[in-house]
Amino acid sequence: MPTYSAPDTTQLAYHVFGEGPPLVCLPGGPIQSSDYLGELGGLSAHRQLIMPDPRGAGGSAVPADSASYRCDRLVDDVEALREHLGLDRMDLLGHSSGVNLAALYVARHPERVGRLALITPSVRAVGIPIPGEVRRETVRPRHDEPWFPEAYAALEAITEGRATADTWQAITPFSYGRWDEEAQTYESAGKAQRNDEAAGVFAGEGAFDPESTREALGRFERPVLLLAGEVDPGAPPVVAAEFAGLFPNAELVVQPGAGHFPWRDDPGRFMAATSAFLA
């Protein structure tokens, strides 16, 4: 597994899949090994995927300073990776909470980014609110699925400020277009790949300045793709559309029937949309 050194000397690992023009892919979690991304539904057939493990996750070392898990400080790790790869400009993909990091990187180093793909995005870095009713409307089409009543009740509790550990667990099926045995195995593996302690620092005080980030993204004129899952309450399509509107040159794709991991729900649709954008 190749490694590189962060500015604070923390040794960071990354994985490489496929051949062709490189695409740096920032995982979510936050602070989760990039393993869960796999090869993004076969996107490695079109691009060389560079998959960094965040500090404190996967093959990357635990930093001496736990405050360095904060999202704005992770921007330096992404820049160090670009320099290590010898890229003057790189195409960048972020998933979920990794979109926050991608947005902050673009705001700080716009000249270093070519095409930008934001997949089922977290919107904390840009301060877009997600009303509870929007989340509930997004999942209601799944009302006939056997697990729906319990999961929907838990979602109501969360959006009304009555969240517990059990309610967060109960809404997990909404993250997947199909909540089958394969998805359940994938979810269990993903939990083991996360650094929960570090995740608590990621969005800590001072991590985000939404107003300045939005202003910076409004000046980024390179092509941008926002891809949302049709039934994903974590990144509802209407919210992804608002995010897309922050950029001068963005397109929105809503993948039918997809949850938070669209490359798993329908690899063909996901690969067609992303490969066409990145071509």
Calculate the CA dihedral of residues 253, 255, 259, 263 and round it to 10 degrees. Answer: -100
Question: In the prediction, which pLDDT does 187 show?
Answer: 96
Alpha carbons 247 and 225: distance in angstroms, whole number: 10
pLDDT (mean) for 4-24: 97
pLDDT tens track for 199-247: 999 999 999 999 999 999 999 999 999 999 999 999 999 999 999 999 9
Q: Return d(Cα 232, Cα 209) in angstroms, integer.
A: 25
Instruction: Quick: pLDDT tens for 178-197.
Output: 999 999 999 999 988 999 99
Cβ-contact 100, 70 below 8 angstroms = no
Which DSSP string do the residues of 85-116 spell out, in sequence order? HT-SSEEEEEETTHHHHHHHHHHH-GGGEEEE
pLDDT at 261: 98
In this prediction, residue 229 carries a pLDDT of: 98
Q: What is the DSSP letter of 10?
A: -
Of 85, 42, 102, 39, nearest in space to 268 by CA: 42
Work out the pLDDT band at 254, boundaries 50, 70, 90.
Answer: very high
Distance separating the N- and C-terminal Cα atoms of the chain: 27
What is the percent of the chain with per-residue pLDDT over 90, rounded to a whole number? Answer: 97
**Residue 117 · residue 277 · CB < 8 Å:** yes
pLDDT at 250 over 90: yes
What local confidence, expressed as pLDDT, does residue 61 receive?
98
How is 128-163 classified by DSSP, letter by letter? Answer: ----HHHHHHHHGGGTTSTTHHHHHHHHHHHHTT--
Mean pLDDT of 3-12: 98
What does pLDDT average to over the chain? 97
What is the rounded (10 degree) CA torsion for 124, 127, 132, 137?
A: -90
Q: Quick check: 165 pLDDT over 90? A: no
* H or E element that contains 11: strand 11-17
Instruction: Tell me the β-bridge partners of 228.
Output: 254
Q: What is the pLDDT of residues 96-155, one digit of tens each?
A: 999 999 999 999 999 999 999 999 999 999 999 999 999 999 999 999 999 999 999 999
* pLDDT at residue 44 greater than cutoff 90: yes
Rounded Cα–Cα distance for residues 238 and 78 (Å): 29
Instruction: State the amino acid at position 35 in one-letter form.
Output: D
pLDDT score, position 191 = 87
